[in-house]
Chains A and B, each alone.
Chain A
Amino acid sequence: MNILAIDTSNQVMGVAVWKDGELKAEYTANMKRNHSVGLMPSIDHIMRETNIMPSELDRIAVAKGPGSYTGVRIGLATAKTMAWTLQIPIVSVSSLELLAHNVSHQPHFICPFFDARRGLVYTGLYQAKEGHISLVEKEQNILLSTWLEQVREKEQPVMFLSQDMSYHRDTIVRTMGDQAIFPSPALHIPRPGVLAYLATFYEIADTHALTPNYIRLVEAEANWLKEQERKQNG
C-alpha cells in the first residue's frame, strides 16, 4: 500500500511516503515557515525521491489538528482534494494523538499539548498499551494551570510532549514536581512517518465530511450561541 502523509497542523511541517510495507521517506521541518508555500514543493520532492506517481497512491493520511487554524486547513484542503480527485481513502489522525505515538512504548500517562496563547493549551491525556494509544481524558482547550491540577490527581507519572515546552516547562515542574517526565527533545516533534504508519490500520474517514479538529469554536459563533441560549431562557 502506497501512502502519502501530510502534517501542517502546527509549526512543524511533515510529509512522508509509505511504500511496499515500510516507511520509505519522511521530511520534517521545525521552523516558523509558511506551510502554504512549503507543503507542495515538499510533496513533489518526496514523491520524486521515492519514485512514486500521484496515480500510484492508495491512501492519504493527514493530521487534522488541533493546532494553527490556518495550518490545519492547508493540510486538510490538500489532503481532502488529493484523496477525492485520486478516488482513494483518507485517514485523519488527531495531532495530539499523533504526537503521543512518539512514546507509545512506555507505561506512563502521556500528555501532549500545543500552546494556544493566553495561558491556554490544546491537550488531552493518553495511555499506551501494547503499542496502541487510548484516550484517558478528552482533548480540550484549557488553561494549562487548571489542566495540571487535574492531571496531578492521577497520582502517577505523566510524560509531557510539546514543541512549545520551553514556555511551559517551569509551570509543569512547579505543579507536578517528580510526577512530570520529559523525554528527549527529538520526541517532542510529531513524525509524519508515524502518521503514515497509523494510516495503514486506522479507520477510513468520509472525504467530503472530514473537517479539522479545531476543538474551539470561532469567537463570533460562541457569542452567537450564548445569545441564542439567553433568548431561549428569556
Chain B
Amino acid sequence: MSEYILGIETSCDETAAAIVKDGKEIVSNVVASQIESHKRFGGVVPEVASRHHVEHITLVLEETFAQAGLTMKEMAAVTVTEGPGLVGALLVGVNTAKALAFAHGKPLIGVHHIAGHIYANRLVKEFDFPVLALVVSGGHTELILMKEHGNFEIIGETRDDAAGEAYDKIARTLKLPYPGGPKIDQLSAEGTESIDFPRAWLEEGSFDFSFSGLKSSVINTLHNAKQRGENLKEKDIAASFQASVVDVLVEKTYRAAKKYGVKQVIVAGGVAANRGLRVAMNEKFEEEELELMFPPLKLCTDNAAMVAAAGSVAYHQGHRADWDLNANPSLSLERYATRGK
C-alpha cells in the first residue's frame, strides 16, 4: 500500500503544504508566496511573514488535500519544518502540524529545513550514496556529506554571510528591486567580468565560505568609481560579483566531491536556481564520473514537498515528536541527524 506523508513549511515567507507518496513522488504541492507583500519593504519583515502564515495556512492545506483527492485519514504522518528559520513564522507551521496530528491521532515529525532542501532532489531521483550537497540560499551556504539516509555531516559552511544574503545586499546597493538575487543573475548574463573581485579561499583544504570581504570590495569599488566620476556599468558589476561567488562555490564543491569520492552532487536551495551557477557547475563536472543534480526550480525554493520527503525518511527511521514540539530557529543539522541515537 502507498504511504502518504503530509509536509508543512513556514520557516520564512512561503506558506506551504504538500503530500508526498512513498517519500519520492509529489502528489500535491502548494506554495502561497508572500513576495508581493514583502516587496514593499525591500526584504522579508518577520512579523509580517508570521501574520500572513496565519491568514493562509488553512487555505493552503485545503488546496493541498483537494489537489491530491486525499484526506487526513490516509496520511501516515504529519511532518513540519521545526527549524532553522524565523521563529514567529516557524511557530505557525509547528502548531498547525500539531493540531492536525492531534486531531487525527497521527504521528508528528519535526524536520530540519536544510534536510528538506537536500531531499527535494529525491523527488526527482533516488540517492546514490555517498552524496555531496551544496545548499545555497538566502540563509545558507553549506557543503553537506551524506553517507546514508538521514545522515548529514557538515563539511563546510559560511563564516559570515550566506551566498543569497550577499546577493541581496549587492542588489540593494545597486538599487535593484526585491528580490535582488535573480535580478543580478539576469544582469550578469548581459555583462562582462571586467572587475577582478576577491575570492575567499580561506585556509588550505578548508571547505568553509566567506562572502563579507567580497561584499565590501564591491561596495568600495562602486564608491571609488563614483568619486572619480567614473560610470561603472551595472551589468558588469553584477557579472564580476557573480563570477567571484560562483568560482568559490564551484571549486570548493569540486574539491570536496573529489576528496570524499561521492557518487552524486546535489545543488539545492534558492540560489540553485541561479543560471550562472548551473552553467559553471555543469562545465566543471562535465568530465567527472559522478552525477550532478539540480532539483527543478519550484523544488529549489522553499516548499513543503521537500519537507515531506525528508520527513518520510525520518518516519521510517522511527523518529517521532511529542506534543511539546517547539520551533527551533537555530536548530543544528548535525544535532538533528543524531537525535535519538
Contact = CB atoms under 8 A, between A and B. Distances in A.
B45 A73 contact: no
Most chain A beta-carbon contacts within 10 A, residue among B54, B99, B103, B326 = B99
* Contact-residue bracket for chain A: 20 to 34
A212 B54 contact: yes
B111 to A, nearest CB: 16
B91 A218 contact: no
Contact of A73 (B48, B61, B91): B91
B99 A82 contact: yes
A34 B326 contact: yes
Given A74-B91, A74-B95, A84 B61 contact: yes
Q: Chain B interface mostly helix, strand, loop or mixed?
A: helix
A37 B104 contact: no
Nearest to B40: A224
Contacts of A82: 99, 102-103
Interface in B179-222: none
Q: Which 5 pairs show the lowest CB-CB distances between chains A and B?
A: A81-B99, A40-B323, A77-B95, A84-B58, A54-B103
Interface of B: 40-41, 45, 47-48, 50-51, 53-55, 57-59, 61-62, 72, 87-88, 91-92, 94-96, 98-100, 102-105, 322-327
8 contacts: A36-B326, A37-B324, A70-B50, A73-B53, A73-B88, A81-B100, A85-B61, A85-B99
Given A78-B95, A81-B57, A81-B103, 16 more contacts: A36-B95, A41-B324, A43-B323, A69-B88, A70-B88, A73-B54, A73-B91, A77-B91, A79-B99, A81-B96, A85-B99, A85-B100, A85-B104, A208-B59, A212-B51, A221-B40
Interface of A: 34, 36-41, 43-44, 54-55, 69-70, 73-74, 76-82, 84-86, 207-208, 211-212, 214, 218, 220-221, 224
